[in-house]
Amino acid sequence: MLFNSFEFIFVFLPIVLMTFFLLAKLKQTYYATMFLVVASLAFYSYWDIRYLPLLVGSIIFNYVIGQFIEKKRAKRVLAIAVIVNLSLLCWFKYIGFFIRSFNDVAGLSLFVPEVILPLGISFFTFTQIAYLVDAYRGETQRNNLLTYSLFVTVFPHLIAGPILYHKHMIPQFSDPKNFIFSHENMIKGIIFFSVGLIKKTLIADTLAVWVKPVFDNPMNVSFVEGWFGALSYTLQLYFDFSAYSEMAIGLGLMFNLKLPINFNSPYQSLSIREFWQRWHITLSEFLKNYLYIPLGGNRNGSQKRMINLFVTMLIGGLWHGAGWTFVVWGALHGCYLVINHSWRRLNISLPNGLSWGLTFVCIVIAWVIFRANNLQEAIAILIGMSGANGIVLPSFLEKMPFVYQWGFPFARLELLPPNWKASASFFALFVLLLAVVSMPNIQKLCNYSSPIGMGERKSDSQDYSTYVPVLLGIGFFLALKIIAEAAPSEFLYFNF
C-alpha cells in the first residue's frame, strides 16, 4: 500500500487512527498496541502476503535471540544471529547478482534463481541487526514480544525507513502519554504528510518524466541533454526520498511517535562528509556505528582510517542494490570521503561557493552512475555531459540574442521535453535547485528534532503555526487530483 494512494489516505489511515485512539481512550493500551501491530502487518501484506511469514519469522527469531544475548552477553550467538540475518538478505537481494557475476568471470552458465525481493527487507534487517548489537552492548531494556514487534513493523517506517533504533523507539511505545490524542501532534503530522505528498506527486513524479528519456537513450545524449537528465534525476531522488521521509515523520506524529529525521537538506552541504551527515541519516548512523567503528574507525592511524571509510561506503553502495552501478557508486563516494578527509588534514579552506559547487557536481556525477542501467550506459551519459559529443543548444535559446555570441549551433534536442515546454522545464529545474540549496526544510520550519541521540539539534525556527493552511490545502488537493487521474507511483527507495 502506497502512502500516496487513495486507499491509504482515505481508508487505511483513518480506520487505524480512530481504532487505535478509541482503544487507548478505553484504557486498553495493550490491545491498542496489538491493533497497531496487526495493522502494520496488514499494511505490509497488502503488497505481497507471501512474504509475511518471512517478516514474522524474522521478528520472532531476532526477539528470542536478542533476549538471550541480553542476558548472557553471548558474542558467538550474536555473530551467528547477524550471519543468519545477512544470509537471508543476501539470498533474496544478492543471490542473482553474485551468480551472474561469477558466471561472467568464470565463463560458466550456472543456474540463476529468480528471487523476488521482499519489500522492506533491507530496512527491517538492519533495524534488527542494530537491536542485536545493542543487546550485546547492554543498551537494550527487557521488553515483551508485542512491543518489539511494533518496533520492527510500525508501518510509517516499515517499507523504506528510516532505520529505527531500539533505545529511541521502545520508550515511546511504552509511554502512557503517547496513547493520549494530541491535537498539536496531529496538526504537525498532517503538515508533514501533506508536504511530503505534494513533493512526491507534484514534483518528483513530474521530474521522473524528464529523467526517463535521457537514461533510456544513453548513447545519444548530448551535453545539454546529459546535464538536463542528470540534474532532473538529482532533484527527483531528492524530492522523492524527502517526500517519503517527511510522510513517515508525519504519520509517526499522528500516533504521537517521534521518528528520526532521515533527510536534512543534503544539497546544501559544503563537503561530501557533510552530505553523508544529511543524506539518509539513519543509514549513515548504522554504517558508522555497526560497520566503520567495529572495523577500527580512526583508532589505528590515518591510513587504516581511509581504508575503513572506503570499505564502509563500498558496502553502503551494495546495500542500495544488487548491481555494479551501486558498487561503483559506493566506491566513488568512498574515494570522495578519502579525498575530503585528506584535504581537511591540509587545513586549507575554500570559499563556500566553490566548496558547494565542487561537492554538488561530485554528487551529480555519482547519481548518474547510481541511476544508469549499467556501467557502460553511465559512462556514455558522462561522456555526453563532458561535451565530448559536442555542444548543441536547444532551439528555444535562439530567441535570446545574447546567446549567439557563444558560437554554439542550435537544434531541437529530442530527449528534452517538446520545445514549447523546454524553456519552462529549464526554468523549473533552476527554481527547484535554488529552493533545495537555499530554503529551510520542513523540520526546521516546524521545529522538529530527532529522538535523543541522533545528533540533530533543535531548530530555533518558527513552528507549524506560521504555515498558511490555505496554500498547503491547495497543494494537497492538487496532489489528490493527480492521484485520482493516474495510478500513484512507487517511491524510489522501495527498490533499495
Cell 548543441 sits on residue: 392
341 is catalytic: no
Enter the C-alpha cell of residue 494.
522501495
Task: Quickly tell me which residue has 495493522 as its cell.
Answer: 39
Q: Whose grid coordinates read 556514455? A: 380
DSSP one-letter code for 164: P
Burial of 456 (0-12, 13-18, 19+ CB in 10 A): middle
d(CA 483, CA 372) in angstroms, rounded, equals 27
Cis before residue 162, ω within 30 degrees of 0? yes
Q: Which three cell numbers stand for residue 412?
A: 531541437
Reading the block at residue 197, the C-alpha cell is 505528498
Amino acid residing at 286: F
Alpha-carbon separation of residue 489 from 169, 208, 245, 483 (angstroms): 29, 10, 16, 9
**What are the two backbone dihedrals, phi and then psi, of residue 214, each rounded to the nearest 5 degrees?**
-70, -45
With residue 274 as reference, give the H or E element that holds it: helix 272-278
Taking a C-beta distance cutoff of 8 angstroms, is the pair 166, 453 a contact? no
What is the amino acid identity at position 271? S
Q: How far apart are CA 149 and CA 144, in angstroms?
A: 9
Q: What is the CA radius of gyration of the chain?
A: 24
Where does residue 177 fall: left (phi above 0), alpha (psi -120 to 50 degrees), or beta otherwise?
A: alpha
Residue corresponding to grid cell 482515505: 10
Adjacent-strand bridge partners of 279: 263
Q: Which of 166, 168, 320, 333 is catalytic?
A: 320
**Do residues 284 and 455 touch, judged by C-beta distance below 8 A?**
no
Helix (H) or strand (E) holding 332: helix 324-346
> What residues are annotated to the active site?
320
